[in-house]
């Protein structure tokens, strides 16, 4: 299980005290409507009010524990406006990047992106996958033409506390997805309320790997918070969809799927020996029964931990012994996984973000002096000890769908750690009003530029899609295909 847990921790899937709130120093419960006075609030209205050489600070009286520091930051894409800043939650501070759309920033949709882990920085998504620039070597950034900000405004957020350039003044920590969701939902409301051009704008929440746990809960928090915004006379967030790439939405089905990935031709030819596969096959019913009884039917953290730990080791250790890349079953791991995540480019990203001049123009808080780390073992361990990964989020997906929030589940076919077999199984088994129609749909081919890109099925707002030849980080392996996928999705076009 040590191997499996370390993979989930590192899956793509570690000061200053904020000033007194501008409107009130008293604790505020968002449900107490009488404490909110819209007359006390003066929004920034436009991003043009944001300064370049220093932070512009803003907030909202409905969220007195929160404020946002933002500066205009000219980097990565000279053709669009870029911004960096911190979401300040009293003694906790979340770092983020924001890039305007290359097409029509005043009208294009908005995408929120987070990497997984738990504990991995969204700088990986920015500089390695879907951002407007990439870092391919030690020379710095280069333009990335297939960025997702081609037709959308995009956030990249280092969350929870302790990830990337995010930090806490006195060692504060967040160790559950539900707690992290409250910070993200509050930030989204503050941003959309301060900048009038964003009010009512179509909004999508996206992430990969542990994002399969994050995104359904984050999107649910944003949706539920809308009622409170409406009650206070504010504009609700126009949440349109959730997008999950190679997600760990149901860890139990994921563990069992490792048999298929290493012992059958699900993606490539079998990669472990026959005797091992025979033994693994015999363990499937035992592990399935054990995890269902202790984790699903009647949750017991001690027994669930034991079941997941034992079964995770049984099915994960044989693959670990092969030396193959857990994020791409078609190739060996390139470098120690603890240092490179099997991708040496991650070291170049860290080296770039360790440059003093880079940190200075990004506006990284000077209290952060440690070397940049793509993923935080400390955060991952805290989530593991809290049992956060033992809670599936498929029911959140079903609830979002029932409320007409679209959901896209996309999966690279070469990923092992959060693979297509497990993701297809849980989407087919999902209990919601569209279950029969969705599960009754056959897979069909979807194309990019006239060529086969993968297979998909879709019904009543739920879409499942594979991206052939891609690993865990679909936008890294197949940038053009992933952009086509996202462009069609946000435009409400079929694949």
415 is catalytic: yes
Domain boundaries, position 71: 15-249+391-490
Evaluate whether residue 36 is within a structural domain: yes
Q: Is 70 domain-assigned?
A: yes
Catalytic residue, candidates 209, 220, 267, 458: 209
Question: Rounded to whole angstroms, how far apart are CA atoms 454 and 447?
Answer: 7
DSSP for residue 388: G
Using alpha carbons, select from 88, 35, 69, 76 the residue that is nearest to residue 349.
76
Whether the per-residue pLDDT at 398 is higher than 90: the answer is: yes
Q: For residue 334, is pLDDT > 60? A: yes
Three-state secondary structure call for residue 353: helix
| 481 lies in some domain | yes
Number of domains in the chain: 1
CA 163, CA 173: separation in Å to the nearest integer?
10
The two structure tokens encoding residue 437: 């129609």
Beta-strand runs (E) in 266-354:
324-325, 328-332
60 flagged as catalytic: no
Q: Is-contact 436 442, C-beta < 8 A?
A: no
Q: Which of 328, 435, 472, 477 is catalytic?
A: 472
User: Does 184 map to a domain?
Assistant: yes
Neighbours of 46 (CB within 10 A): 12
Give a yes or no: residue 136 inside a domain. Answer: yes
**What residue has token string 């490539």?**
268
- pLDDT for residue 219: 98
Domain presence at residue 26? yes
> Mind listing the pLDDT tens digit for each residue in 342-358?
999 999 999 999 999 99
The pLDDT value recorded for residue 475 is 98
Q: For 137-194, how does the pLDDT look when each residue is reduced to its tens digit (9 = 90+)? A: 888 899 999 999 999 999 999 999 999 999 999 989 999 999 999 999 999 999 999 9
The reported pTM is 0.92
Q: Is residue 109 part of a domain?
A: yes
Residue bearing tokens 């770039």:
352
pLDDT tops 70 at residue 224: yes
**Other C-beta atoms lying within 10 Å of the C-beta of residue 78:** 10
CATH number, domain containing residue 484: 3.40.50.1820
Q: What is the mean pLDDT of residues 60-64?
A: 93
Residue 474: inside a domain: yes
Residues 216 and 126: their CA atoms lie apart, in Å, by 21
């Amino acid at each position: 299980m040590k191997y499996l847990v370390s993979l989930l921790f590192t899956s793509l899937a570690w000061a200053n005290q904020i000033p007194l709130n501008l409107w009130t120093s008293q604790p505020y419960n968002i449900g107490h409507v009488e404490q909110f006075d819209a007359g006390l609030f003066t929004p920034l209205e436009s991003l043009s009010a944001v300064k370049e050489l220093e932070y512009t600070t803003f907030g909202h009286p409905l969220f007195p524990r929160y404020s946002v520091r933002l500066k205009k930051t000219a980097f990565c894409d000279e053709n669009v406006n870029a911004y960096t800043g911190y979401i300040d939650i009293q003694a906790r501070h979340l770092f983020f990047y924001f890039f305007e759309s290359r097409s029509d920033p005043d009208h294009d949709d908005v995408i929120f992106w987070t990497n997984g882990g738990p504990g991995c920085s969204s700088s990986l998504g920015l500089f390695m996958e879907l951002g407007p620039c990439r870092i391919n070597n030690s020379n710095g950034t280069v333009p990335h033409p297939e960025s997702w900000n081609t037709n959308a405004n995009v956030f990249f957020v280092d969350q929870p506390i302790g990830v990337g350039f995010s930090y806490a003044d006195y060692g504060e920590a967040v160790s559950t997805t539900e707690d992290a969701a409250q910070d993200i939902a509050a930030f989204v409301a503050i941003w959309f309320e301060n900048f009038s051009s964003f009010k009512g704008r179509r909004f999508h929440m996206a992430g990969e790997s542990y994002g399969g746990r994050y995104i359904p809960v984050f999107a649910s928090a944003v949706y539920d918070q809308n009622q409170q915004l409406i009650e206070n006379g504010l504009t609700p967030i126009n949440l349109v969809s959730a997008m999950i790439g190679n997600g760990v939405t149901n860890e139990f089905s994921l563990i069992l799927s490792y048999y298929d990935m290493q012992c059958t031709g699900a993606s490539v030819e079998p990669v472990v020996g026959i005797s091992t596969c025979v033994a693994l096959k015999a363990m499937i019913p035992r592990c399935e029964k054990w995890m269902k009884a202790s984790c699903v039917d009647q949750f017991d953290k001690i027994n669930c931990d034991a079941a997941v730990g034992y079964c995770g080791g049984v099915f994960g250790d044989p693959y670990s012994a092969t030396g193959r890349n857990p994020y791409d079953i078609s190739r060996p791991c390139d470098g120690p996984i603890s240092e490179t995540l099997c991708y040496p480019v991650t070291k170049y990203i860290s080296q770039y973000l360790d440059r003093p001049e880079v940190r200075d123009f990004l506006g990284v808080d000077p209290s952060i002096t440690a070397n940049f780390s793509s993923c935080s073992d400390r955060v991952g361990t805290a989530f593991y000890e809290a049992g956060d990964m033992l809670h599936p989020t498929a029911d959140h997906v079903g609830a979002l769908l029932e409320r007409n929030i679209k959901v896209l589940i996309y999966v690279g076919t070469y990923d092992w750690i959060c693979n297509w077999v497990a993701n297809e199984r849980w989407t087919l088994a999902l209990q919601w009003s569209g279950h029969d129609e969705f599960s009754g749909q056959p897979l069909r081919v979807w194309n990019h530029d006239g060529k086969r890109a993968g297979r998909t099925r879709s019904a009543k707002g739920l879409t499942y899609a594979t991206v052939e030849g891609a690993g865990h980080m679909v936008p890294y392996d197949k940038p053009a295909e992933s952009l086509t996928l996202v462009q069609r999705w946000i435009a409400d076009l079929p694949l």
